[in-house]
């Protein structure tokens, strides 16, 4: 266990040292929102959001880029170091290579999608083009990437069952592919939606990953233990600069990648039911947004004054740090309850 804690501390220190020059680089590259004007899924202005977040204009976006690069490099370095030192690399699956491939493909390719969207928002929409990717275009690409990952889990790792405590184990056969695809896309967008307040998505994700790290320790899955340790180290360093008032935002690059990878880790651990509980804050965020979208689409009017739920709380008069702190507390409770569910036999 001590060696994985060392991995975490090395990752934290490396990211902490790199973050300040990286923030300065983002300023030089003008990788920031020149205006806090935003648009919803129907490409319409969001004046309520702009009202509460206009002071964030000019803050660099792209913190996820550094975490992704350092996590990929750190994970690769430590995996080879373990092999070089002769330490056992243990996995729940017969093919460790396939497990690593699935993990890294998700982490990297969802970040490419987010990076493209960030570039659109940062540079091209000001010239009169649309604001980032259209929702349907983004969803199509997300579905394609998630389907590839789900197919690999089904075909190469022989994953096809889900365990629901007290109800039993169910073999979904090839239906596992669309099921896993839905889970991956849902959490990818849930983390992205939650990335609206300083420290909200990164703090909640950190708590949830600590819960998954605990599960990984109990089953001694070396690739997941190393990957989560490196990732958590980067997230804590990022959170230091992301708490209110934030000096750096994740951006879609980080949010889409982190959400999808979080879901894949839950699926690889075989804890999909616990995943929805441990990630309960993300579930609440995306459900509130989905209900609002459906109401606007089919009823022609809003169900809530504003969505997602964190923005509704701001609208009700809650201060931003208060919302974030309480979301962290709720996330801790969800994580503890999710761990209890995960360890049920």
Residue list for the binding site for Mg(2+): 192, 252
Q: Is 152 exposed, middle or buried (0-12, 13-18, 19+ CB in 10 A)?
A: buried
Pick from 250, 208, 256: which is nearest to 228 by CA? Answer: 208
Binding residues: 192, 252
- The bridge status of strand 161-164 relative to strand 168-171 is antiparallel
Residue 56 neighbours by CB under 8 Å, 6+ apart? 33, 36, 246, 249
Distance CA 248, CA 232 (A): 17
Distance CA 214, CA 204 (A): 16
Pick from 110, 109, 285: which is nearest to 204 by CA? Answer: 285
- Maximum pairwise Cα distance, the chain: 63
Q: Do residues 250 and 258 touch, judged by C-beta distance below 8 A?
A: yes
Continuous H helices in the chain: 2-28, 47-53, 63-84, 96-119, 135-156, 176-194, 200-219, 222-242, 251-268, 272-278, 280-298, 309-315, 320-342
Compute, in degrees rounded to 10, the torsion defined by CA atoms 123, 27, 187, 144: 40
- Coil vs helix vs strand at 32: strand
Q: Do residues 79 and 223 touch, judged by C-beta distance below 8 A?
A: yes
The β-bridge partners of 170 are 162
The angle, 0 to 180 degrees and rounded to 10, between the axes of the packed helices 251-268 and 63-84 is 40
């Amino acid at each position: 266990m001590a060696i994985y804690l060392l991995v975490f501390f090395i990752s934290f220190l490396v990211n902490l040292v790199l973050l300040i020059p990286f923030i300065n680089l983002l300023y030089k590259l003008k990788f920031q929102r020149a205006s806090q004007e935003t648009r919803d899924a129907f490409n319409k202005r969001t004046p309520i959001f702009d009202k509460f977040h206009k002071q964030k204009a000019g803050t660099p976006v792209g913190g996820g880029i550094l975490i992704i690069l350092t996590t990929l490099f750190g994970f690769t370095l430590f995996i080879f170091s373990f092999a070089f030192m002769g330490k056992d690399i243990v996995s729940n699956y017969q093919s460790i290579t396939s497990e690593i491939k699935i993990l890294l493909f998700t982490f990297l390719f969802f970040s490419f999608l987010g990076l493209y969207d960030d570039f659109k928002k940062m540079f091209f929409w000001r010239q009169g083009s649309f604001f980032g990717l259209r929702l349907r275009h983004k969803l199509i690409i997300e579905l394609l990437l998630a389907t590839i990952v789900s197919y690999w889990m089904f075909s190469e790792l022989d994953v096809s069952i889900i365990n629901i405590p007290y109800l039993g184990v169910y073999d979904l056969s090839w239906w596992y592919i669309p099921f896993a695809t839905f889970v991956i896309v849902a959490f990818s967008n849930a983390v992205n939606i939650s990335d609206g307040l300083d420290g909200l998505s990164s703090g909640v994700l950190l708590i949830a990953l600590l819960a998954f790290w605990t599960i990984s320790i109990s089953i001694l899955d070396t690739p997941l233990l190393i990957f989560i340790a490196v990732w958590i180290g980067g997230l804590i360093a990022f959170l230091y600069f992301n708490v209110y008032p934030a000096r750096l935002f994740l951006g879609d690059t980080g949010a889409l990648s982190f959400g999808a990878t979080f879901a894949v880790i839950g699926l690889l651990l075989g804890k999909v039911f616990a995943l929805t509980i441990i990630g309960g804050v993300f579930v609440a965020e995306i459900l509130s947004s989905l209900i609002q979208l459906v109401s606007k689409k089919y009823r022609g009017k809003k169900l809530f004054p504003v969505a997602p739920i964190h923005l509704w709380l701001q609208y009700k008069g809650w201060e931003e740090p208060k919302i974030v702190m309480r979301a962290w507390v709720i996330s801790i409770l969800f994580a503890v309850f999710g761990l209890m569910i995960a360890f049920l036999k």
